């Protein structure tokens, strides 16, 4: 079966969902690799939420799967209540987002302009870096991950910035490619 994902902003203690989004509201599939690409309208809208003027700026972020081993409470189940679901306006193609995904918890960042493009497709690092549950269902990322990047930023404070972070931040090379022959 396929695993379904929802991006969530968390409380400071990282145990409660304070906001979540639903891919179908933006015409996207629920499985991780159905929406995890650069220029995807759903992921761009999440990016706007974690940009400096966004309502999720400075909040812990996780892309939680319904098969995740959620040891601190079932975050995915918390996303079934409309009380904290949000449906922000879709980000237009001409809206400029920053090129840098910044993890303030781990003091790391990814330069999105350096993401490898394969046949016109480039995997967006945000959903894969922040996911919990990958590898447990159809539609997950099954390519090679030699540096253990998948899920390494889950529940951390992530922002999108237009200026490269300086001082004490390490650039992470996100060069993952999907294994198209998995299925």
The pLDDT profile of the chain, 183 residues, written as one tens digit per residue, is 789 999 999 999 999 999 999 999 999 999 999 999 999 999 999 999 999 999 999 999 999 999 987 656 689 988 887 779 999 999 887 888 999 999 999 999 999 999 998 888 899 999 999 999 999 999 999 999 999 999 999 999 999 999 999 889 999 999 998 875 544
Give the separation between CA 106 and CA 117, rounded to whole angstroms: 26
Helices (H) and strands (E) in the chain, counts: 4, 8
CA distance 82 to 167: 40
Backbone angles phi, psi at 28, to 5 degrees: -115, 160
**CB neighbours of 15 closer than 8 A, spacing ≥ 6?**
72, 73
Give residue limits of the domains in the chain. 5-171
pLDDT score of 57: 97
Task: Assign 68 to helix, strand or coil.
Answer: coil
Q: How many CB atoms lie within 10 A of CB 119?
A: 6
Contact between 40 and 47 (Cβ < 8 Å): no
Nearest to 86 by CA among 42, 127, 32, 126: 42
Report the pLDDT value the prediction gives residue 5, as an integer from 0 to 100.
96
pLDDT of amino acid 73:
66
Residue in this structure with the two tokens 């493009």, named with its chain if needed: 117
């Amino acid at each position: 079966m396929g695993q379904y994902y929802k991006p969530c902003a968390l409380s400071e203690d990282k145990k409660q969902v304070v906001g979540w989004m639903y891919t179908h509201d933006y015409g996207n599939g629920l499985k991780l690799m159905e929406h995890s690409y650069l220029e995807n309208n759903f992921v761009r809208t999440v990016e706007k939420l974690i940009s400096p003027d966004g309502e999720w700026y400075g909040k812990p972020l996780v892309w939680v799967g319904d098969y995740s081993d959620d040891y601190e409470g079932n975050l995915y189940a918390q996303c079934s209540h409309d009380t904290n679901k949000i449906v922000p306006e879709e980000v237009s193609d001409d809206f400029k987002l920053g090129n840098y995904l910044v993890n303030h918890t781990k003091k790391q960042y990814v330069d999105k302009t350096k993401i490898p493009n394969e046949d016109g497709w480039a995997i967006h690092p945000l959903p894969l870096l922040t996911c919990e549950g990958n590898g447990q269902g159809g539609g997950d990322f099954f390519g090679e991950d030699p540096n253990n990047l998948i899920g390494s930023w889950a529940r951390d404070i992530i922002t999108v910035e237009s200026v490269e972070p300086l001082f004490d931040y390490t650039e992470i090379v996100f060069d993952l490619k999907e294994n198209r022959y998995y299925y």
